[in-house]
Amino acid sequence: MHFTGVTRGAQVTGIAVMALSLTWISALLRSYVRIRILKFVGRQDWLMLAAMLLLTILCSLFLSAINYGLGAHMYNILPEGQVTGFKIIFNCELLYVVTTAVTKLSIGAYFLRLSSRKYQIRVVYTTLAVVMVFSTMYFFFLLFQCTPINYLWTQFSSDDIEGSCLRSPILANVTYAHAAMSAITDWAFGILPIFFVWGMQMNPRTKFSVVLILSLGFFASSATIVRFVYIRTLADTDDWSWEGINLVKWSMVEPAIAITASNIATLRPMFKSFVVFASKRFDSKINDEERWSADSRLRLRKNQHSNSAKLYSPEFADLLGLSRVGVTTKITAGGSDPETPKSRRKFSLALLNKEKNENESQTELNDGTNFRKGSDGMDWSSGIRTTTVIMVDR
């Protein structure tokens, strides 16, 4: 141990364990959905994995800093402990900026897959551009806050080393700017899901559940706002190791909430048939027009004549575990005559359009009945039957 007296380091341990537990549990569930259910892993998943690895390293560094006095009073920390401790905190500052940036890149990449309008894509790209610009500027500001760079921690050694660092108010103001950017981009990603489902053919319950699960990033902004208070506190004190413990805790909580919320947003396909609030009924398949309910026909007619409502894409449905909405028609050859049950065969509409020039031949049945049989092997004696499948969002 490189310090004496009381310490608040146990608080860091508790927060680090909680942050890593939530993120890795939610990540394992996300991996199950992607690999076993959707059978697809995209760049947003790899970016989120990178963010989780960065968060794991960040929490590990904060835990190691406890041994060098993080959470203790400055006057109780030995000089060698201060040197090593501040070197670790310096690396944590840089790693925090990278972790939050990569997390937002992953969220943005996921939203790009859900975007169906040009303005939605522009919003995502604009938000990501703001994140990258501010994060890059803040990263280099922290990197060169002292001249030379290592003066940040060597100033506490017993050696006579010359150097200088920016004054605390300047550092605090720049940190405020970065925190404000982080909160605003969290709000942008929290509001955008409303426009994803606006005008889509969904019932209100489904729309609300989709918006709710995609807007969990709002909670990350709350952690960012809390950091404002402790940034000012740290700027007004010289007991950095003691007062900075609160800023350290929320620096772990913020990316942990964002990563966990992003992982949870991908779990809807797994819970759609178990959780009533977030579930969707299975696709309604109706074989004959006589079996359509009045409600289904009315809803389908309303959707078909609506200029504002639109169908969501299959990819949108798969990513969020939604039932698909639409109409498909299957066409089969052959009648329902019991004397010719084996003559009914399904065929593809594309094949029918492709094979226009057919060589027809006469074939005689066992009972003497004649029918025409095309070169494609289809029985046309009883005409064509169509089966319409209606998939209605309930």
- Are residues 240 and 313 located together in one domain of the fold? no
Q: Is 373 helix (H, G, I), strand (E, B) or coil?
A: strand
CA-wise closest residue to 194 among 121, 244, 132, 120: 120
CA 244 – CA 232 distance, rounded (Å): 10
Residue 179: inside a domain: yes
Tokens read off for 96:
């925090």
Which of 271, 300, 325 finishes a domain?
271
Residue 93: inside a domain: yes
Which of 219, 243, 271 finishes a domain?
271
Confirm if 284 and 391 have CB atoms less than 8 A apart: yes
Question: Residue 96, by phi and psi: left (phi above 0), alpha (psi -120 to 50) or beta?
Answer: alpha
- Are residues 312 and 228 located together in one domain of the fold? no
Residue 240: inside a domain: yes
351 CB-side CA count, 13 A: 12
- Are residues 251 and 300 located together in one domain of the fold? no
In this structure, what DSSP letter does residue 282 have?
P
Tokens read off for 95:
């790693």
- Are residues 303 and 196 located together in one domain of the fold? no
What CATH code is carried by the domain that includes residue 182?
1.20.1070
Q: Is 144 helix (H, G, I), strand (E, B) or coil?
A: coil
Q: Going by C-beta distance under 8 Å and a sequence separation of 6 or more, which residues neighbour residue 270?
A: 29, 32, 33, 37, 321
CA 216 – CA 283 distance, rounded (Å): 28
Confirm if 16 and 59 have CB atoms less than 8 A apart: yes
- Are residues 90 and 132 located together in one domain of the fold? yes
- Are residues 28 and 130 located together in one domain of the fold? yes
Residue 42: inside a domain: yes
Question: What confidence score (pLDDT) does residue 317 get?
Answer: 61
Question: What confidence score (pLDDT) does residue 114 get?
Answer: 84
CA 205 – CA 19 distance, rounded (Å): 31
Domain extent, residue 313, equals 289-391
- Are residues 305 and 218 located together in one domain of the fold? no
Q: Is 310 helix (H, G, I), strand (E, B) or coil?
A: strand
Question: What confidence score (pLDDT) does residue 384 get?
Answer: 57
Question: What confidence score (pLDDT) does residue 11 get?
Answer: 93
Dihedral over Cα of 98, 101, 103, 106: its sign: negative
Residue 160: inside a domain: yes
Bridge-based pairing state of the strands 326-333 and 164-165:
unpaired
Amino acid identity, residue 258?
A
Number of domains in the chain: 2
| Phi, psi of 375, rounded to the nearest 5 degrees | -70, -15
- Are residues 157 and 257 located together in one domain of the fold? yes
Long-range CB pairs of 300-305, under 8 A, 24+ apart, other chains included: 300/327, 300/390, 300/392, 303/201
- Are residues 202 and 349 located together in one domain of the fold? no
- Are residues 296 and 260 located together in one domain of the fold? no
Chain center to CA of 187: 15
Residue 148: asked if its preceding bond is cis (omega within 30°), the reply is: yes
Distance of CA 27 to CAs 46, 185, 380, Å?
Answer: 11, 23, 55
Which of 207, 236, 271 finishes a domain?
271
Confirm if 179 and 227 have CB atoms less than 8 A apart: yes
* DSSP per position, 321-361: TPPP-EEEEEEEES---TT-GGG-EE--HHHHHH--S---E
Question: What confidence score (pLDDT) does residue 393 get?
Answer: 46
Residue 241: inside a domain: yes
- Are residues 307 and 244 located together in one domain of the fold? no
pLDDT < 50 regions, the chain: 273, 275-298, 300-309, 326-328, 335-376, 388-394
Question: What confidence score (pLDDT) does residue 181 get?
Answer: 92
Residue 164: inside a domain: yes
- Are residues 93 and 42 located together in one domain of the fold? yes
Confirm if 189 and 107 have CB atoms less than 8 A apart: yes
Residue 356: inside a domain: yes
